Chains A and B, each alone.
Chain A
Amino acid sequence: MSEKLTSKQLSKKITDEYMDEAFHAHELGKLIGYSTAISPVEIFVAHDVIPIYPENHAVANLTAKKGAELCSITENMGYTSHLCAYARSDLAYRKSGITVTKGIPEPDFFLACNAQCFTLTKWFQVLARKGNLPVFVFDTPEYIMDKKAREEIVKYCVLQLKELISFLEEITKKKFDYDRLKEVMKYSAQSSILYKKFLDMAQYKPSPISIFDELIGMAIAVYRRGTQECVDYYQTLCDEIQAKVDQGIGVLPKEKEKYRLYWENLPVWFKFSDHAKLLGSYGGVILTSLYVHAWSFEFDLDKDPLVTLAENYVSRFSNSTIEDRVDMAMDLFKRYSMNSMIMFMNRSCKAVSFAVPTLKDILTKKTGIPALVFESDMGDQRFYAESQVRTRIEAYFETLDALQAKTA
C-alpha cells in the first residue's frame, strides 16, 4: 500500500498531471480555454474543456523576479508601463518565450469574467486578436446593494451562462451534460468548504498559517476546482494544519505573535517571502486578505447549478461595492482577532486598488487600528522601493508598539 502523500506532494502531482494533460489536450480530443481566475470554470470542467489561467503562469514568472525584464519587452511593443503586470509579463512571454516554467499551451478560445477585473477582458482581447480566436465575456455588473437589482443581476448572469454553454457546444460540437455539471458542482462545493476551513485556521492563536501559506495553498482551488483531486488536496491540507494546531505550532511561537495583520490587495509576488521574514522579526504575521477568500465559494447544491454559480461569481469581493468590502473585511477582523493592517496600493491592479484609499479610511475608523499604506507593484520590481517600504514597515511597528504601550 502506498504511503499517503503530503499536501505539498499532492499539489505537485495534481499540477504536473494537469499541465501534462493540458499540453496534450488536442491529442486527447480536448480544447484549451483560457480563463480568468475568478470564472465559472465548473462549466469548462463539466464539458471536458481544459481551463488554463495565464494569470497563474504570470505569477510564476513574477515571483521568480522576471517582472522587470518581461514588462520591458511589452513596453517596447507599445504598451504602457501602468498596465497590469500579469498582462505585460504574459504579452512578453508570447513574444520572447521567456518563462521560468515550461510555459502554457496556446488557447483555443477565451472566457473573460469581469467579476475579477475588466483588465483581463482587455488582455484576452489582445491575445484573441493574435490568433483570431473567440472571446466569451461573462459580464458581471457590480453586485450593488439593492435586493431587487441583485435578483436581476443574477438573472442576467444565468442567461449568460446559458449562452456560454451554447458557445461551448458550438465550438466543441458536443452537447452539454447538465448531470455532469451537478457532479462537478458537488466537488466544487466540497473543496470550497475545505478551502475556507483552511483559511479560517488563521483564527487560532498562534496562527498555524500566514497569508504566505495561503497564497501557496490557494493554487489548487484556482485551477482544479470541480474535481475530486481538489477535494482530496484540501482535506489533506486541513488535516496537516489541524495537526499543527493540536500541537500548538504557530508561524511564530505564541509568545512572539504580537501583531495579527490584515493585508489588503494581491501580494508583492517577488517580495512575499522577504515580507514574511521582515514582519516576523517584529512579531507580525499576516493572517488573511479578501483576495485569498475570493475562492471561498458557498455553492448551494439544492439550487439550479447555474443560479448558484451566478450568485457566487457575481458576489466576489472584487465585484462588490466598497461598503460590502468593508463588511467582508470587518468580519475577518473580528473572526481572526486582527490588530493591524497593511493596505497595499498595487499599481498593477486598478480593480482592487482604486477602492483602497476609501477602504482604508473606513476600516481605520471602524476598528480604531492605524493602517500602513504603501504603493508599489505586484510584479514589476521597477516600482518597488526597498528602503522606503522597509522604513515604512519599521515606522508602522514602532507606532503600534507605542500604542500598545500606551494601552497597557
Chain B
Amino acid sequence: MWDNLSLKEVVDYAKDPYPSIRQWIKDTGKRAVGSTFADVPEEVIYAFGFLPVTLMGTNKPLKKAPSHLPDNACSLARSNLELVLSYEGDLFDGYVLPQVCDTTQHLSDIWRINFPDKYVESYLAPRQADRPSARYWVKEEIERVMASLTKWSGKKITDADLNEAIKVHNENKALLKEIYEIKKKNPAALTNKEFFAMMKLSQQVDKVEFNKSLNKIKGSLKAENGKGYTDVVLVGITCDPPEIYDLFDEIKLNIVGDTLLVGTRYIQGVVSVNANPVDALTERHFKRGFFTPIHDNVYKNFEEVKALYKETNAKAIIYVHIEFCESQEYDLPDLKAMIRAEGIPMHTLDTEYQTLSLSHVRTRLQAFFESLKGGTL
C-alpha cells in the first residue's frame, strides 16, 4: 500500500491518508489505534500489532464538534474530534489520547463519553520535565498504558516485540533525517510541501512499508541546490493546512530547521536500542525539544530557537500559531520580544484548522520577505 510511493503520491496520501488506511486494514486484517498530539509512545502500540495513527485534524466541515467544544477551543482539538465523530471514526478500534493541557484533558473525557463501545485510554504526560519525579512518571505511564493495552487486546508483549517496534520507528526517523539533510542543502531537490508530507505520513501509516518508499525517494533525489532560496526556521507545534507549504515554496523559502511535532521533534524521538526498552522510551521523552505544554523551563523555547537559527544560518524565523492554543498564546509575546531583541527577523503566521482561504497569509508572508530582502527590517 505505502511501500512504493512517488513523491506526488506521498503528498496526496498525506493530504487524506484515511482511504488508504481503510484499504490497508481490509487487506491485512490489522486494527488501527488513533492518538492525538503529542508524545504517545507509538512504538508500544505498534508492538501490540496495531497500526498507530496520529490524528492531525480534517479539512472537512465541522458539524458535530462545536456542540462538544466551543469556538474558543484549540482548532486542532475541534478538528480531531470532528474527524472521528463525523468522518473516520469507524477506522479505529481504539484510541490512546495524550493529556498535555486543559483542552486535551477535556478532549479525552469527551472522546471516551462519545465512544462508549471503543477502547479509549489516556496517556497522562507530565507537565514538568526537569525534576526526577517527571522521569518516574513517564516510566509509570508507559507501563500503565502497556498494561491497559494488554488487558484490552488480550496480548502480552515481550521486550523483543518492543525492541523490534523501536527498530522500525528508529529507521523511519533516520530516513527522514537523511532526507531532511539533503533537502536543506538542495532546496530544489524536493519542496517543503513534499518533505513535510513525508513527516506527516510517517506518523500515520505502516512504517515497515513506508520506510521502503522513503528509501527509494532518498535514492532518487538529485543534488539541486537551486537559486534564490531564502533559508528559514519554522517554529511551532504543527503547520496546517498543507497549502501553507505551497506558499513557502512559491516564494522560495527553504525550511532548514524547525521545532514542529510534525518535524524535527518527531525525528528527535529516536530511542536507544542498547537498553531496557521501557527505560529507553522513558529517556527519549527528555531528549526531545521544546513543546510548550510540557516544559516548565520558561526560557527553553527561546534558547532552542536562537540556537537553531544560528546553527542553520537561517535568514528569518517563521512562527506558526494555532488559533486558540492557549499555551502558545502565553509564550508568544515574550518569545517575539526576546527574538527581536537578538535582531532576528521573525514572522508570525496565524493558522486555524479548516482554514479555506490563505490569501491573507500569502499577502503578509510576501510583504515580510520582500522587506527582508530589501533590508528594511
Interface residues of A (CB under 8 A from B): 77-80, 82-83, 87, 114, 117-119, 121-123, 125-126, 128-129, 135, 137, 139, 141-142, 144, 148-149, 152-153, 155-156, 159-160, 163, 321-323, 345, 347, 350-351, 353-355, 357-358, 362, 375
Contact = CB atoms under 8 A, between A and B. Distances in A.
B105 interface: yes
A121 B296 contact: yes
Interface in B105-126: 105-110, 113, 122, 124, 126
A78 B72 contact: no
12 contacts: A79-B329, A135-B296, A141-B126, A160-B131, A163-B131, A322-B110, A347-B72, A350-B102, A351-B105, A354-B70, A358-B113, A375-B70
B87 interface: no
A81 to B, nearest CB: 10
A77 B101 CA distance: 24
A347 B106 CA distance: 15
Interface string B315-357: 0000000001011011111101000000000000000000000
A321 B72 contact: no
B152 interface: no
Contact of A119 (B102, B109, B113, B132): B102
Given A118-B101, A144-B122, A323-B113, A137 B333 contact: no
A346 to B, nearest CB: 10
A350 B102 CA distance: 7
B333 A78 contact: yes
A357 B109 contact: no
Contact of B106 (A78, A135, A355): A355
A83 B326 contact: yes
Contact of B72 (A142, A149, A350): A350
Contacts of B124: 141-142, 144, 153
B223 to A, nearest CB: 43
Given A119-B326, A350-B102, 6 more contacts: A82-B329, A142-B99, A142-B124, A350-B103, A350-B326, A358-B109
B333 A79 contact: yes
A156 B140 contact: yes
Contacts of B107: 354
B94 to A, nearest CB: 16
B275 interface: no
A355 B140 CA distance: 27
Given A139-B126, A156-B133, A78 B336 contact: yes
Contacts of A80: 329
Contact of A357 (B68, B137, B144): B68
A322 B106 contact: yes
A321 B103 CA distance: 13
Contacts of A322: 106, 109-110, 113
Interface of B is mostly: helix
A31 to B, nearest CB: 19
A357 B103 contact: no
Contact of B324 (A82, A137, A139): A82
A119 B101 CA distance: 9
Given A118-B293, A125-B330, A137-B128, A163 B109 contact: no
A126 B331 CA distance: 7
Nearest to A357: B68
A126 B298 CA distance: 8
* List of 6 A-B pairs having minimum Cβ-Cβ separation, nearest first: A122-B330, A78-B333, A141-B124, A354-B106, A322-B109, A159-B133
Contact of B108 (A125, A126, A142, A362): A142
Contacts of B108: 142
Contacts of B127: 114, 118, 121, 137, 139
Nearest to A78: B333
A83 B330 contact: yes
Contact of A354 (B73, B99, B132, B336): B73
A354 B131 contact: no
A142 B107 CA distance: 12
B136 A156 contact: yes
Contacts of B122: 142, 144
A322 to B, nearest CB: 4
Nearest to B72: A82
Contact of A163 (B132, B324, B336): B132
Contacts of A128: 298
B184 to A, nearest CB: 31
A149 B144 contact: yes
A77 B72 contact: no
A152 B140 CA distance: 8
Contacts of B332: 78
Contact of A156 (B137, B331, B334): B137
Contacts of A353: 70
A354 B298 contact: no
A118 B296 CA distance: 11
Contact of A350 (B73, B131, B293, B299): B73
A401 to B, nearest CB: 27
B376 interface: no
B67 interface: yes
The CB with the most chain B CB atoms within 10 A, among A122, A135, A155, A355, is that of A122
B251 interface: no
Nearest to B332: A78
Nearest to B130: A137
